[in-house]
C-alpha cells in the first residue's frame, strides 16, 4: 500500500504539471521568455539577481518546504491516513501549484513588488497596512514555532557538526558559482559531497563529544537554567537556539547569492537524496519484505478526532504545507520572482517545486502510518486512545527515514542522523528567509516613520528580539496551533490578490478564485474554532481547573486567533470591492483572453 500511495501521488504530480500547469502557462498567463524580468531590470546583487532555473528550483523547493509538510501530515494521520493523502493530492493539483506559480508571475509583472505593495496596488491603501501587520505577526509565529523545534534538534550530539558542514558547503557553493564562475555541475558535486562527509563525521564519537561538552557548560546537573510556566529551559536548548538565530541573521542581512540561495541549494540536494533514498527503500521493501510497509493505521479513524477536532476545518490547517501554504506566496514574490531570469522559468521552478513538496508530504504520511510501534517498543499511535499521537512528529520522521534507508544498507545510527539533520535543514533554511521577509515587512510598514527600520541590520535584530522572547519564555508551546491557521489564511489572501490581478488583465480567473474562496472559508472557520477552544475548551482560559500560566497563554492565543480572523475578513471586504470594480471594467471592455 505504501508504494502504491507514493506512485499515485507522483502520477498526479506529473499529470498536474504536464497538462494543467502547462495549459495555464501557455493559454492564460502566456509566459514570454523575451519579456524583461525584475531580476534583469533591477539587478542589485542583493535581492534582485538573475539565476539559473536549475539553481532556483533547488532554492525554491528548499525555501518552501520546511517542517510543515512533515509535522502536519504526520499529525493529521490521527484522522486516518486516507483523508491526509486525499487532501495532499487534491490540494496540490487544484490549489497549491496555482498559488505558487501565479504569485511568482504576478510579482514579476508588477516589477518585483512584495505582498504589501501588491495589496496596495490591487486592493486598497488600507489593505497594505493590514496585510503587512498580519504578515509580520504570522512570520513571528513561524520563527517561534520552528525555532523551538530546531533548538531541540541541534542539542542532539549527532546533528550540529553535520549541519555546520552543510552550511559551509552552501557558502562555498555561492563563492564557486558567482565569484569563481565554476561549472554548476562541478560545484554541485563538490559541495554536496562535502556536506555528506560532514554529516557522516558528525556521527563519530569525537564530534559528538564536542557537542556533549558544549551542552554541559552551564546549568544544574540536568542542564536546567530556569523554569518557565511551560516547562524547564535547559542550557542546551538556550545555547543552540542562539546558534540557530545567528544562522538566520546571516541569511537575512547578507546578499542573497552569498548565503541564503546557495545554502538552500546545497540543502535541496541533501533533502532530495534522503527523499529519493527513502522512496527506493519503500519500493525494495515492498517486493522483498525487508521491512514492514503495510499501513497499520486505518484509512479512516473518525470525523471528530478528540485530541485535534473536526476533520473540517481543522485537518486543512493541521496539514499546513504539502497541499497549499501561504508561506509559498512570500517566497515566490519577495524571493524567487526577483531572481527568475525568464518568465518561462516560473512553471518549472514554482509549480515544479510545489508538486515535489506534495510527494515529500505523502512520504511523511507513509512514515507515520507504517509503524505503530518502533523497534524499542515505543508506541507511535495509541489505538486505545483513538490514535492519539504518542511520540513527537520529528522522532517519527527520523525513525521512518532511518528504517527505509536501512533497506539500502545505511546503518541505523547514520540513518537516524540523516533524518534528524533533514528536519533541522528543513526548518532553518526557511527560518533565514522568514527573518529576511520580516525585516522587509517592517521596513515597508514603519520605515517611512522610523527610518532606522530601513537598515537591514536593525530590522533583523528587532525581529530576532521578538523571537528570543518567544523562545526563552517557552510561550511558543501556546501558539503552535495558530501557525497552521495563519499560514493557510495567507494562502487565501494570496489567491485573492491573484484573482483580482487576473480580472484586471482580462484573463480567465475561476482557476484561482474558487481555490481562494475555499481556503478563505476553511481557514477563517479554523481560526474561530481555535479561538473558541482557547477561551472555552477543557483547558481554555475560562476553565476553572486550569492554572494561571495556561489561562494567560490560552487567552492570548484566543485573542491572536480572533485578530487574524478579523484582519482576514477586513481584507476580504476590500478585496471583494476591488474585484467587483475590476470585473465591471472587464465587462465594459472588449473581450480579452
Q: Specify the pLDDT at position 547.
A: 67
pLDDT for 223:
81
> Is 90 exceeded by the pLDDT of residue 85?
yes
By three-state DSSP, how is residue 176 classified? Answer: helix
What pLDDT score was predicted for residue 275? 93
Residue 306 sits in a domain whose CATH number is 1.10.4160
Average pLDDT in the 296-301 region? 90
Does residue 592 carry a pLDDT above 60?
no
In this structure, are residues 443 and 459 in contact, taking their beta carbons and an 8 Å threshold?
yes
| Most confident region among 79-88, 280-289, 539-548 by mean pLDDT | 79-88
pLDDT (0 to 100) of residue 374: 67
Q: Comparing 48 with 138, which gets the higher pLDDT? A: 48
pLDDT band per the 50, 70, 90 thresholds, residue 479: low
Cβ atoms of 440 and 80 within 8 Å: the answer is no
Q: In this structure, how many other beta carbons lie within 10 angstroms of the beta carbon of residue 249?
A: 20
Question: Cis omega (within 30 of 0) on the bond before 313?
Answer: yes
Query: Cα(316)–Cα(523) distance, rounded to whole angstroms?
Result: 8
On the question of pLDDT at 213 being above 80, the answer is yes
CA distance 24 to 12: 17
- CA dihedral (496, 502, 506, 509) in degrees, to 10, reads -70
Write down the pTM of the prediction.
0.89
pLDDT at residue 46, rounded to an integer = 76
pLDDT at 471: 72
Is residue 205 one of the residues assigned to a domain? yes
Q: Is the pLDDT of residue 485 over 90?
A: no
Residue 119 lies inside a defined structural domain of this protein = yes
**How confident is residue 352, by pLDDT bands cut at 50, 70 and 90?**
very high
Query: Residue 11 pLDDT more than 70?
Result: yes
When mean pLDDT is compared across 76-85, 204-213, 411-420, the lowest value belongs to: 411-420
Residue 503 lies in a domain: no
Query: Would you place residue 475 in the very low, low, confident or very high pLDDT band (cuts 50, 70, 90)?
Result: low
Examine the pLDDT at 477 and tell me if it is beyond 60.
no
The pLDDT of residue 232 is 79
Cell of 241: 537556539
* C-alpha closest to that of 560 among 493, 494, 483: 483
- What is residue 73's predicted lDDT score, i.e. its pLDDT? 93
The answer to whether the Cα torsion of 84, 89, 90, 92 is positive or negative is: positive
Distance in angstroms (rounded) separating the CA atoms of residues 51 and 439 = 23
Q: Is the pLDDT of residue 480 over 70?
A: no
The answer to whether position 475 is within a domain reads no
Give yes or no for a contact between 300 and 422, defined as CB atoms under 8 angstroms apart.
no
Contact assessment for residue 101 and residue 346, using Cβ atoms and an 8 Å cutoff: yes
- Place 481 in a pLDDT band, splitting at 50, 70 and 90: low
> Of 371-380, 518-527, 575-584, which range is least confident?
371-380
Residue 463 has pLDDT above 60, yes or no: yes
Q: Write down the mean pLDDT value for the chain.
A: 88
pLDDT for 591 beyond 60: no
Specify the higher pLDDT residue, 216 or 547.
216
The whole-angstrom separation of Cα 175 and Cα 564 is 41
pLDDT score of 549: 60
Pick the range with the lowest mean pLDDT from 338-352, 459-473, 499-513. Answer: 459-473
Give me the mean pLDDT over the 520-536 stretch: 86
Q: What is the C-alpha to C-alpha distance for residues 147 and 140, in angstroms, rounded to an integer?
A: 10
Q: How many domains does one find in the chain?
A: 1
Give yes or no for residue 229 having a pLDDT over 70.
Answer: no
Say if residues 390 and 372 touch (Cβ distance below 8 Å).
Answer: no
Q: Among 121-125, 202-206, 391-395, which stretch is predicted with the lowest mean pLDDT?
A: 391-395
Over residues 212-224, the mean pLDDT reads: 81
Backbone dihedral region for residue 112 (phi beyond 0: left; psi -120 to 50: alpha; all else: beta): left
- Partners of residue 381 on adjacent β-strands: 389
Is there a domain that residue 285 lies in?
A: yes
Spatial neighbors of 462 by CB under 8 A, at least 6 apart, are 439, 442, 453
Considering only CA atoms, which of 165, 154, 333, 197 is closest in space to residue 263?
165
435 burial via Cβ count (<10 Å: 0-12, 13-18, 19+): buried
504-518: average pLDDT:
95
Instruction: Look at residue 472 and tell me if it is in a domain.
Output: no
**Could you read off the pLDDT of 540-550 as tens digits, one per residue?**
667 766 666 66
559 within domain boundaries:
no
Between CA 150 and CA 28 the distance in angstroms is 41
3-state secondary structure 502-542: HHHCCCCCHHHHHHHHHHHHHHHHHHHHHHHHHHHCCCCCC
Going by pLDDT thresholds of 50, 70 and 90, the confidence category of residue 478 is low
Structural domain that includes position 441? 2-16+38-467
> Would you place residue 384 in the very low, low, confident or very high pLDDT band (cuts 50, 70, 90)?
confident
Please give the angle made by the CA atoms of 117, 498 and 354, to the nearest 5 degrees.
105
Distances (CA, A) of 346 to 31, 97, 101, 353: 8, 11, 6, 10
Residue whose C-alpha cell reads 474554532 in the numeric block: 529
pLDDT in tens, 145-177: 788 788 888 988 989 999 999 999 999 999 999
Among the listed residues 483, 584, 522, 510, the one whose alpha carbon sits nearest the alpha carbon of residue 102:
510
pLDDT band at 593 (very low <50, low <70, confident <90, very high): very low
Q: Any idea which of 6-15, 286-295, 365-374, 525-534 has the lowest mean pLDDT?
A: 286-295
465 class by beta-carbon count within 10 Å (0-12 exposed, 13-18 middle, 19+ buried): exposed
The three cell numbers of residue 384 are 486505545
Q: What is the pLDDT of residue 378?
A: 74
Question: How many residues does this entry show for the chain?
Answer: 593
DSSP track, 256-268: TTTTHHHHHHHHH
Asked if residues 27 and 342 have their Cβ atoms less than 8 Å apart, the reply is: no
Position with higher pLDDT, 537 vs 160: 160
pLDDT greater than 90 at residue 332 = yes
In a domain, 562, yes or no: no
pLDDT at 291: 58
- pLDDT > 80? residue 98: yes
Q: Nearest-CA neighbor of 96 among 337, 361, 485, 436?
A: 361
Q: What pLDDT is attached to residue 412?
A: 86
Predicted confidence band of residue 389 (pLDDT cuts 50, 70, 90): confident
Amino acid at each position: 500500500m505504501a508504494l502504491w500511495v507514493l506512485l499515485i501521488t507522483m502520477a498526479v504530480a506529473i499529470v498536474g504539471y504536464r497538462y494543467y500547469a502547462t495549459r495555464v502557462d501557455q493559454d492564460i498567463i502566456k509566459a514570454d521568455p523575451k519579456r524583461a524580468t525584475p531580476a534583469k531590470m533591477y539587478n542589485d546583487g542583493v535581492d534582485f539577481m538573475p539565476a539559473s532555473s536549475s539553481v532556483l528550483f533547488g532554492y525554491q523547493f528548499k525555501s518552501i518546504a520546511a517542517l510543515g509538510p512533515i509535522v502536519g501530515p504526520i499529525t493529521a494521520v490521527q484522522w486516518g491516513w486516507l483523508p491526509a493523502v486525499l487532501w495532499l493530492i487534491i490540494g496540490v493539483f487544484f490549489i497549491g501549484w496555482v498559488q505558487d506559480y501565479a504569485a511568482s508571475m504576478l510579482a514579476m509583472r508588477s516589477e518585483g513588488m512584495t505582498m504589501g505593495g501588491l495589496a496596495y496596488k490591487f486592493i486598497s491603501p488600507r489593505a497594505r497596512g493590514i496585510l503587512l501587520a498580519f504578515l509580520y505577526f504570522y512570520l513571528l509565529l513561524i520563527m517561534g514555532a520552528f525555532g523551538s523545534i530546531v533548538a531541540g534538534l541541534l542539542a542532539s550530539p549527532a546533528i550540529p557538526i553535520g549541519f555546520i558542514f552543510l552550511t559551509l558547503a552552501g557558502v562555498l557553493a555561492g563563492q564557486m558559482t558567482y565569484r569563481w564562475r565554476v561549472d554548476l555541475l562541478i560545484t554541485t558535486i563538490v559541495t554536496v559531497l562535502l556536506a555528506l562527509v560532514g554529516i557522516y563525521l558528525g556521527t563519530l564519537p569525537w564530534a559528538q563529544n564536542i557537542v556533549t561538552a558544549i551542552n554541559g557548560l552551564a546549568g544544574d546537573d540536568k542542564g536546567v537554567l530556569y523554569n518557565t510556566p511551560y516547562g524547564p529551559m535547559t542550557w542546551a536548548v538556550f545555547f543552540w537556539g542562539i546558534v540557530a538565530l545567528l544562522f538566520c541573521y546571516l541569511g537575512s542581512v547578507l546578499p542573497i547569492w552569498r548565503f541564503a540561495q546557495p545554502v538552500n541549494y546545497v540543502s535541496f540536494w541533501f533533502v532530495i537524496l534522503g527523499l529519493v533514498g527513502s522512496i527506493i527503500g519503500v519500493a525494495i521493501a515492498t517486493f522483498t519484505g525487508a521491512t514492514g510497509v503495510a499501513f497499520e493505521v486505518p484509512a479512516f479513524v473518525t470525523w471528530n478526532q478528540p485530541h485535534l477536532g473536526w476533520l473540517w476545518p481543522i485537518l486543512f490547517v493541521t496539514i499546513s504545507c504539502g497541499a497549499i501554504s501561504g508561506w509559498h506566496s512570500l517566497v515566490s514574490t519577495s524571493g524567487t520572482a526577483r531572481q527568475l531570469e525568464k518568465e518561462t522559468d516560473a512553471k518549472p521552478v514554482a509549480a515544479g517545486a510545489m508538486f515535489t513538496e506534495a510527494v515529500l508530504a505523502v512520504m511523511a504520511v507513509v512514515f507515520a502510518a507504517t509503524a505503530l510501534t518502533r523497534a524499542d517498543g515505543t508506541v507511535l499511535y495509541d489505538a486505545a486512545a483513538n490514535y492519539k499521537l504518542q511520540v513527537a512528529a520529528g522522532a517519527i520522521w527520523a525513525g521512518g527515514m532511518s528504517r527505509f534507508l536501512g533497506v539500502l544498507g545505511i546503518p541505523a545510527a547514520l540513518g537516524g542522523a540523516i533524518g534528524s539533520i533533514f528536519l533541522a535543514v528543513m526548518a532553518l533554511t526557511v527560518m533565514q528567509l522568514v527573518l529576511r521577509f520580516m525585516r522587509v515587512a517592517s521596513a515597508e510598514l514603519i520605515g517611512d516613520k522610523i527610518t532606522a527600520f530601513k537598515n537591514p541590520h536593525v530590522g533583523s535584530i528587532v525581529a530576532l528580539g521578538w523571537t528570543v522572547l518567544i523562545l526563552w519564555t517557552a510561550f511558543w508551546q501556546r501558539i503552535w496551533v495558530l501557525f497552521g491557521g495563519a499560514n493557510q489564511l495567507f494562502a487565501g489572501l494570496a489567491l485573492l490578490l491573484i484573482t483580482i490581478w487576473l480580472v484586471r488583465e482580462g484573463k480567465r480567473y475561476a482557476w484561482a478564485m474558487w481555490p481562494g474562496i475555499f481556503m478563505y472559508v476553511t481557514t477563517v472557520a479554523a481560526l474561530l474554532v481555535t479561538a473558541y477552544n482557547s477561551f472555552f475548551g477543557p483547558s481554555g482560559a475560562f476553565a476553572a481547573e486550569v492554572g494561571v500560566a495556561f489561562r494567560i497563554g490560552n487567552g492570548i492565543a484566543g485573542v491572536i486567533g480572533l485578530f487574524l480572523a478579523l484582519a482576514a475578513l477586513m481584507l476580504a471586504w476590500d478585496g471583494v470591492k476591488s474585484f467587483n470594480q475590476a470585473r465591471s471594467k472587464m465587462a465594459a471592455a472588449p473581450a480579452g483572453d
